Each structure stands twice: as structure tokens, then as C-alpha cells.
Amino acid sequence: MIKLIDAARSLLEATVSSGATRVENIHGLVLDYARGYVEGDKEGVDRDSIYQLVRDITAELGGFADDVVDVGEDVRETIKRK
């Protein structure tokens, strides 16, 4: 039972850490886009740039999903070994 609790704790810690990092990255992407818009950088603010922003955010979300799966697999292997 202790190894299951330890595994759950590890999974939760790694997931929260990865999520926090990904959210920070997304905030940075949106901030960079907004700065270009507010500062009047018309070259940086067009249809293509918003689509690129969406692609970048989607990539971050996909990366987070990959992180969660990887951590889950690591935890499963750890439980098997104990």
C-alpha cells in the first residue's frame, strides 16, 4: 500500500510541475503576441501569427499530455519493480 501511495504522490508532483511549466510557457507565448499587438507591430500581428500562436499553444498542450503519459509509465514500472 505504501508503494502505491508513493507512486501516486510522485505522479501528482510530476504532473503539477509539468503543468506549471507548460502554463508558464503558454503565458509567455500569449504575452509575446499581445506585446506585438499593443506596440503596433503590424507585421507581427496578422492572421498567420495568430494561427502560429494557436499551433504553439497546441504543441505545449500536446507536450504536457506526453509528460503525463511518460510519468504514468515510469510510475507503473516503479510499482512493478517493488
Tens digit of each residue's pLDDT (9 = 90 or more) over 18-76: 999 999 999 999 988 887 776 665 555 677 788 889 999 999 999 999 999 998 888 88
Provide the b/e sequence for 8-39 (b: ≥16 CB within 10 Å): eeebeebeeebeeebeebbeebeeebeebeee
Backbone angles phi, psi at 41, to 5 degrees: -80, 85
Q: What is the pLDDT of residue 18?
A: 93
Residue 55, C-alpha cell as written in the block = 499551433
Where in the chain are the domains? Answer: 2-81
Mean pLDDT of the chain: 84
Q: Rounded mean pLDDT of 12-23?
A: 93
